[in-house]
Amino acid sequence: MSSTATDHIVSHAAGAVLWRAAGPTASDIEVAVVHRPRYDDWSLPKGHLDPGETAPVAAVRELEEETGHSAVLGAFLKRVEYRIARGRKAVDYFSARVSGDVRSGFTPNEEVDELRWCTPPEAKGLLSYESDSEVLDLQTALPQQRTTLLLVRHAKAGKREHWAGDDDLRPLSDAGERQASALREMLATFGPDRVVSAPLLRCVQTVQGVAEDIGTEVAHETALSERSHAADPDAAVRRIVEIAADGGTPVVCSQGGVIPHVVETLAARGGVPLPATKRDGVAAKKGSLWQLTFDGRGRLVGANYLPSALPTPLPA
């Protein structure tokens, strides 16, 4: 069947299940539900992406604008699509934990005139849309112990044939520097706590800014390089699982010859369906990111692909 104009995504938004701790165990949480006077409905906080904005950055911005709270993103939950007059609208939803003072922030405004903190069952009874309830169900189904691992392919570094020196020392190009800067902003929304990279200059440079932002050094890991992968294809898989098992929110930078195998292998082991990103396999474009969610045993339970944080194609 041929596609029509109304089949295309013409509007892109992002939102989250914003939650805060409400008891002694990890399952004791409250979630934020907002009332929008324009529609007279109760919904999860969300809003449209600004031009050139990524879904994670938009989600955090919209959460602060609508609820008054800063937040740290966690697992990707779901993309909801529905038809509007001009085509289709897509809304990407994340899990998001309140950061900072949870008692301050909300001020009624034109978009949102009321915010309620509810238990998940209370929120389901309040939400106006079934799609929001389904997103909330995915939040409550997340494992209580989980790790968000951010697997990055290094940014653009020019063409290999134009570099006369050691290829391991080939630096980012100007376009790659811009990609790395945009990645730095997007990765910050997840609250990373450590940074690991293949020991190639272009990989380290891609995530150096993230390490500087959190006051740490980039740890080098040879198993993440294509050279190591050629000798032992599963070495990177084992190392990724080990890093995830340590918990927290690690940023890991590797190469295009490694990432597809890692993602495919982990997804097959965990029974995780991968988003359709590329006809001939798993996508891993330069400057892109796989957001991988693991349970406490190091098993993959969710995967989300985020293309380059820059919206337009760049020269190498």
Reference 308, options 154, 91, 148; nearest CA is 154
Q: What is the DSSP letter of 89?
A: E
Tell me the β-bridge partners of 33. Answer: 116
DSSP string, 243-311: HHHT-S-EEEEE-TTTHHHHHHHHHHHHTPPPP---TTS----TT-EEEEEEETTS-EEEEEEE--SSS
d(CA 192, CA 257): 24
Tens digit of pLDDT at every position of the chain (316 positions): 334 445 688 899 999 999 999 988 878 999 999 999 999 999 999 999 999 899 999 999 999 999 999 999 999 999 999 988 888 999 999 999 999 755 557 899 889 999 999 999 999 999 999 999 999 999 999 999 999 999 999 999 988 888 888 889 999 999 999 999 999 999 999 999 999 999 999 999 999 999 999 999 999 999 999 999 999 999 999 999 999 999 999 999 999 999 999 999 999 999 999 987 666 689 999 999 999 999 998 999 999 999 987 755 545 4
d(CA 215, CA 78): 32
d(CA 175, CA 178): 5
| Predicted local distance difference test score (pLDDT) of residue 3 | 40
d(CA 252, CA 249): 10
Q: Go through the domains of the chain in sequence order and give each one's CATH number.
A: 5-141 (3.90.79.10), 146-306 (3.40.50.1240)
| Predicted local distance difference test score (pLDDT) of residue 289 | 96
Structure tokens at 82: 């529905």
Helices 259-270 and 235-245, packing angle to 10 deg: 60
Reference 239, options 248, 249, 228; nearest CA is 228
d(CA 71, CA 62): 10
